[in-house]
Amino acid sequence: MRESASFLSASQIEPDTNLIHPRPQMTRSFLSNTIRLFIRNEKGTSAIEFAITAPFMLAMLLFAIAANDSVNASTEIGKVSVAVADIISQSPAVTREVIDGTFNAADVMVNATRRANLELFVVGVEVFADGSTEVLWSRDNGNLSTITKPLPGDDYDLPPEILVRAGFIVSARARLTHTNVVTTSGIKAGQQDKIGHVTTIGAILPSLGPSTYDYQSNFVPRTSIRTTCDNCTN
């Protein structure tokens, strides 16, 4: 007996839906794997950390430089006032040339960038038994702008512990108005400048304006009762 072949029409063939449309489980698995790999990928993390911390590290460095510069300026001015008063008090008599030479020597003690702003004068002061004072002579370095040099016959302010006994005092006063090296370099500390959307380093730094250092040093004459100067006043 002969078997007859059976044929199915195209409309009767059921398509395999698994081959045409991917399973939802496979799509979710692919996305989760991609996200997991992205999270675990550590490439570029060092660059991100550096970009976040670098401005603050740079700000700390610049602040340290500015603080060191200010300390150096203060130390220099203190040494200048001490040196001038000490040198002048060692002689029983001085001249304007000696004092000017002392001023020139003091300039060497100050950083070259700060010399133009150095204000300096030295005076010889008589202290009386009642605590009053009188300037006998005075001379300055010719650069006074914010302080006034006392003239012969003027009173002169001295610490109370010096006024308890009559005598003679050589007093030197030095003042410096100093702008720290960071601000001088052009960085505008405290100013909220931006480059695009990035805040500049100046906005992170505190405002570092000019600082004034003022020192007075007082010495008793070493080899005589008083130190005289007949041609000192300028």
Q: Which helix (H) or strand (E) holds 214?
A: strand 211-219
How high is the pLDDT of residue 202?
Answer: 47
What percent of the chain lies above the pLDDT cut of 90?
Answer: 43
How high is the pLDDT of residue 38?
Answer: 63
Structure confidence by residue, pLDDT tens digits, 4-35 = 545 445 555 555 555 555 555 556 676 676 76
228: pLDDT confidence band, cut at 50, 70 and 90? very high
What percent of the chain lies above the pLDDT cut of 70?
Answer: 68
Residue 186 has pLDDT above 50, yes or no: no
Give mean pLDDT, residues 131-149: 94
Which residues make Cβ contacts (< 8 Å) with residue 163, sequence separation at least 6? 127, 131, 133
CA distance 176 to 156: 20
Higher-confidence residue of 95 and 205: namely 95
Query: What are the distances in angstroms from CA 129 to CA 91, 92, 162, 223?
Result: 24, 22, 11, 21
Helix (H, G, I), strand (E, B) or coil at 40: helix
